[in-house]
Structure formats: structure tokens, C-alpha cells
Structure 1
Amino acid sequence: MNILITGAGRGLGYELATEALKRGHGVIAGVRRPDQDQTALSQLAATYGEKLTVAQLDVTDEEGIAALAAKLQGQDRTLGAIINNAAVLTARDTQIEELDFQDMLTTMDINLYGPMRVVKHFLPLLTEPELSIINISSEAGSITNAYSGDYPYSISKTALNMFSQQLHVYLKERGVQVLGVHPGWMHTDMGGAEAPTNPTQSAEGIMDLIEKRTTPEGQFMFVDYTGKDMKI
């Protein structure tokens, strides 16, 4: 299986790339600036060779996304899974009275419109036997468990869950598994040092979902990395 991963240069994206390669899959690791220091991915490339392709992929750049998709299609590359992982967390703990709407615009552009752009242009490459689209969501996107603060991030993830559900309806007859996945509160640059979940553990669970070792059974396509239903 070939797997496209956005935001693959660090954090969960890097762990997903590592786990996929360990399991024998090919990985297209999308990063915004492949010319900058990508030591971790370079080390993976040294180990896995042609199994890993590092590609420039900025989820806010639709023209660049389309060009990459066309390039891969021209090389007869196919995909079995797309993991929309790239995201930002802005205006942390900022209440509505102080909210800068530029943070809203930036966050929605990356966290919601980014996955939509990627699916728009890479869906034609999703032709392998086992198919998945994984949108990395968050428990922060649950309306049931809404809390005050983190407005840009939470609202973007709620909207991403809706996009996942719409894709599920659109693609289920094609046999494409579409999931919004809460990866856990992880010990990453975004999650912080106090986060309890190891991103390696989360990556393993998400890969189990892609390989369908774990099969969610709920009505809504919003689960955690173990496949357990999350509250919408």
C-alpha cells in the first residue's frame, strides 16, 4: 500500500510515516519545505530507500497540491490511503473577547480547507484494493464535550468531522473507509510535555485502522486511535 501523509516532517506525521514504513508500506511524506532541515526523514530515507518519497506539500497551496498529484499520476503512482495530518493550534486559551480573527482564518485554511484540497486532487489516485482516508481530528471537535476556549482549533476540527462524514456517504459504495480520528492528547510540539499519549502508540493504532485490523462500527465516522467511538 502507498500512503500519502501531510505534515510528515515531525510529531504524529513523522511517527505515522515511520510506522507505515516499518509495516512495509510505501510513504509519500508531504512537508511544506523539503529543502529545510529534514534530518528525521533523511534518516528514514537512508533506511527505507525508495519506499519513502519526500514531497513538497503545503496544504494551503492548491496549485502546488494539484501539481504534485498530477506528477505522481504521471508516474503511475497509486494510493491506498490518505492521512490528512497537517494542522495548527492557534489562540490557545484565548477567549472570544480577545480573539484575533486572523487566527480563525489561518486555522480554517490549514485544518479544514487543507484536507479538502488534498482529497479533491488526490482522490483520483486512490485506486488500490484497500482504501482509506484518515482525517486527524480531535476530541476538541466534539460538540457534546464543548468547552470554552481554543475556538479556532475546536471549530476547525468540528467542521473536519462533518467533512469526514460527508466523504463517508459519498465514497462508501466505492469501498473507501473514511474516518475522523482523535489521536489522543500526545506528547508532541502541539500537545506539550504534559500530554500522556506516546505518538508512536497513536501511530500504531491509526495504522491498524488503515490495515483494518480494527474495524469501527459506529454510525458516525469519528473514533479515537483505537477505533473506539467518539462523541460527536
Structure 2
Amino acid sequence: MKTALITGANKGIGFETAKQLLENGYFVFIGSRNLENGESAVEQLKKAGFENIEAIQLDVTDAASVEKARSEIGNKTDVLDVLINNAGINGGMPQAALEAPVESFQDVLDTNLYGVIRMTQAFIDLLKKSEQPRIVNVSSSGCSLTLHSDPSWMYYSHKAAVYTASKAAMNMYTINLAYELRDTPFKVNAVCPGFVATDFNNHRGTGTVEEGGKRIAKYAMIAQDGPTGKFISEEYNPESGETPW
């Protein structure tokens, strides 16, 4: 049975992605900053008939928490097949480039970029033991440099200096990570779930968590001939999903 770890999986897209992987026969570790919330998510999934699931206390901004989670998971399995870096914060609004305090950038980067780095570096040894390891960094087409510099793009005026900077930086980390793992079985991609209605955007999104979770899970389970080192948004590009950086 393949194993997966999803950060920030106690609700929203992370929770739905866990459900999608469970339906496909994976054992899923639900990473949750608050363990009670993680255990509540597990209970919901167990009531839905799933058994191969466990909550793990995991705060991606806390190195000690990440290392403890690595130790706990390492005591339960020798191999991790999938890491989904889903945990993220938006930093609140408004986010004007000339007015947002540096502290806001630091807080958001600590989760959206440094958290991804902490998780990847902590769990890479378990992932390397998988025959088909997958890393999915949850991103957003709204953080594309190309699209945000194009006045004809439908969301051109929807600027958020803090959040978009954090995810653009995470996208660059994804490129470098995929490059370093290019001669291995790893598939590493930045994947946008779409503009999904969740707490993250005060439910202003136009898509469903089911759609978003399905898109993330798809790239967590891609075959060996699948893409790596790509920025994927099937909402932006329904045909191939490939999105400009």
C-alpha cells in the first residue's frame, strides 16, 4: 500500500485530496497544526468508511514540529510515496506592495516557502525509498509572473503583493528541486487546484473542493511518463494543464 503525507489536510482542499487518495488505496497521514482538528478530520473520514488514515501534529513553520512528525512517521513506515505541501496562508488583505509591512512577507514566506523547504528536506530520505516518489507543491495560477504582467489577463488587477510573492518563490523552488531530482524516478510539480471556494478565500471561489482535490491527487498519482518540473493549472489550461511561470 502506498503512503502519502499531506500538510494542512484537516480541512478544505487538503482534506478532499486525502479523501481522493484514500479512494485510490493510499494510506494517508493527515498533517494538521492543531492535532485535535486533525483527529476530527480523521473521524469524519472514518465515518465515511475509510480506515487507512492517521492524524499527525505538524506545524510547517516549526522545525521541531517537522522533525517530530518525521520521527513519528518514520516509526510507522520505511517509505513515503507522496508528499503534498498543501499548508498555506494568504496573509490577509489588502496587500499593497508599497504598504504591506515586511513582517507580513516574513510570516507568509515562513509557511508558503520555508515550510515547503522544511518538509521536503525532512522527508526526502523516506521519499527516496519509494519506487515512484511524488512531490506536489500546491500553488496558484494567480502567482504566475507571466500572467500577472499581462494586462489582458482576466485577473490582472487582482494583485496581492505578499501572497503572490510567496508562491512565486515556491514555484522557483519547485523548478530547482525537480532539476536536482531529474535523473531519478521523482515527479515534482507545482499544481494549482483552481479558484476553489474554501475558508482560504472566504468562500469566494467559483470551484468546488472536490474539483480542487481531484486536480492535486491526479499529480500525486501520475505515472512514470508524467510531467515533472511543471507549473500545472487545469483551470487555466484545460488541455495540458501547463501554465506559464
Is TM-score (shorter-chain normalized) higher than 0.5?
yes
Structure-to-structure mapping, 1:2-151, within 5 angstroms: 2-36=3-37, 38-46=39-47, 47-49=49-51, 51-126=52-127, 127-146=129-148, 147=156, 149-151=159-161
How far apart are 1:153 and its partner, in Å? 0.6
How far apart are 1:101 and its partner, in Å? 2.0
Distance 1:68 1:224, change over 3 A: same
Amino acid at match of 1:106: D
Distance 1:211 1:118 in 2: 19
How far apart are 1:84 and its partner, in Å? 0.1
SS in 2 for 1:97: coil
Distance 1:171 1:145, change over 3 A: same
Distance 2:14 2:201 in 1: 13
How far apart are 1:130 and its partner, in Å? 1.8
How far apart are 1:213 and its partner, in Å? 5.8
Q: Which residue of 2 aligns with 1:159?
A: 169
Gaps of 5+ in 2: 149-155
Distance 1:217 1:69 in 2: 27
Amino acid at match of 1:224: S
CA contact (8 A) 1:77 1:125 kept: yes
Distance 1:140 1:215, change over 3 A: farther
Structure-to-structure mapping, 1:191-202, within 5 angstroms: 191-202=201-212
Q: Does 1:223 align with 2:232?
A: yes
Distance 1:34 1:183, change over 3 A: same
Per-residue CA deviations over 1:136-187 (Å, capped at 9, x if unaligned) read: 0111221112256311110011001101101101112121000001110001
CA contact (8 A) 2:84 2:220 kept: no
Gaps of 5+ in 1: none
Amino acid at match of 1:118: M
Per-residue CA deviations over 1:93-132 (Å, capped at 9, x if unaligned) read: 3322321222111100000000100001011111222211
Count residues with an aligned counterpart.
Answer: 230
How far apart are 1:133 and its partner, in Å? 0.3
Alignment root-mean-square deviation, CA? 2.1
How far apart are 1:214 and its partner, in Å? 10
Distance 1:106 1:209 in 2: 28
Scaled by the length of structure 1, what TM-score is found? 0.91
Amino-acid identity (%): 27
- Aligned residue among 221, 226, 234 for 1:211: 221
CA contact (8 A) 2:132 2:224 kept: no
Distance 1:208 1:133 in 2: 12
Scaled by the length of structure 2, what TM-score is found? 0.86
